[in-house]
Amino acid sequence: MVSHSGLLTIMERAARKAAPRLRRDFNEVQHLQVSRKGPADFVSMADKRAEQTIFEELRKARPDWGMLLEEGGKIEGDPDKPRWIVDPLDGTSNFLHGIPHFAISIAVEDPRGAGGQPEITSGLIYQPLTDESFWAEKGRGAWLHDGRLRVSARRHLDESLIATGIPFLGHGDFAEWTRIFGAVAPEVAGIRRFGSAALDLAWVAAGRYDGFWESGLQPWDVAAGLLLVREAGGFVTDFRGGDQAMTRKQVLAANDALHSKLHKLVAGALRNK
């Protein structure tokens, strides 16, 4: 049995405090699909309410820390202290359509990690509907509740299930995604697009997916998930193979064998424009 640090306890408490209302709102949303106005405004309120609850819990526990919130933006704190990075509802489109696949993501970023650069040191991805709590701390592994997570051991593309995110509504580079898809899809056992980057990464950490790629993601979508994959023994890079996944907004994640194979396909696809 492993125990969290105090920080993880704070993060999990905040997520669990926001979860019951999100669950109730999700049930309500399923009834609103047939109303003429649709559930868009209602979901936007649910999202903001969840963020407010998480904000209040985190603020109470660490009053001088800054925050980066999907809805609320940047809140300055003591620059020498870590900051929270929060996505109160990742998978909003799923939530809006009554599809039960969304999560809360909370991460801690240390302003001076390895090499003096900002570094994610704790991450939690909590899925309210399944009560799954994926978490990781730098150097202490990745966990689902108290079970240790490992990325999958598959070494061959032809047995791998790969997740991705597809550009939408004018966001993202559709031509780039199409080129990468054209290179990867014929080589692998399957591609999935479930609509929550945080859960995609948690599932790579848990060995459910063998890999994941997406571009255009924001820090709150990926901060916790990147640490989860790394602490589960996986690799996360940008599309060039560098360590700037969050700043370049390009994520390629997998175990070591598949990462190098996927990276070759991605690099080839981007070269042959």
**Where do contacts with Ca ion occur on this chain (CB under 5 A)?**
87, 90, 221
Q: How far is the CB of 88 from ligand 2AM (least distance, A)?
A: 8
Binding positions for ligand 2AM, rule: CB under 6 A: 70, 87, 89-93, 165, 168-169, 195-197, 214, 221
Residue with the closest Cβ to ligand 2AM?
Answer: 165
The entry of ligand 2AM, Ca ion, none that residue 39 binds, CB within 5 to 8 Å by partner kind: none
The entry of Ca ion, ligand 2AM, none that residue 238 binds, CB within 5 to 8 Å by partner kind: none
Contact 246/156 with Cβ under 8 angstroms? no
Contact 48/71 with Cβ under 8 angstroms? yes
The entry of Ca ion, ligand 2AM, none that residue 210 binds, CB within 5 to 8 Å by partner kind: none
The entry of Ca ion, ligand 2AM, none that residue 93 binds, CB within 5 to 8 Å by partner kind: ligand 2AM
**3-state DSSP call for residue 148?**
strand
N-term to C-term CA, the chain: 50
| Burial of 147 from C-beta contacts in 10 A (0-12 / 13-18 / 19+) | exposed
The entry of ligand 2AM, Ca ion, none that residue 234 binds, CB within 5 to 8 Å by partner kind: none
Q: How far is the CB of 169 from ligand 2AM (least distance, A)?
A: 5
Task: Find residue 213's DSSP bridge partners.
Answer: 164, 252
Judged by beta carbon, residue 134 or residue 157, the one nearer Ca ion is: 134
Q: How far is the CB of 197 from ligand 2AM (least distance, A)?
A: 3
Of the candidates 105, 158, 123, the residue with the CA atom closest to the CA atom of residue 231: 123
Judged by beta carbon, residue 2 or residue 166, the one nearer ligand 2AM is: 166
Task: Find residue 143's DSSP bridge partners.
Answer: 135, 148
Judged by beta carbon, residue 18 or residue 258, the one nearer Ca ion is: 18
**DSSP letters spanning 38-98:** -SHHHHHHHHHHHHHHHHHHHHHH-TT-EEEETTTEEE---TTS-EEEEEEEE-HHHHHTT
Q: How far is the CB of 251 from ligand 2AM (least distance, A)?
A: 10
Residues 6+ apart with CB under 8 A from 23: 128, 129
Q: How far is the CB of 214 from ligand 2AM (least distance, A)?
A: 6
Q: How far is the CB of 224 from ligand 2AM (least distance, A)?
A: 12
Judged by beta carbon, residue 70 or residue 109, the one nearer ligand 2AM is: 70
Contact 4/56 with Cβ under 8 angstroms? no
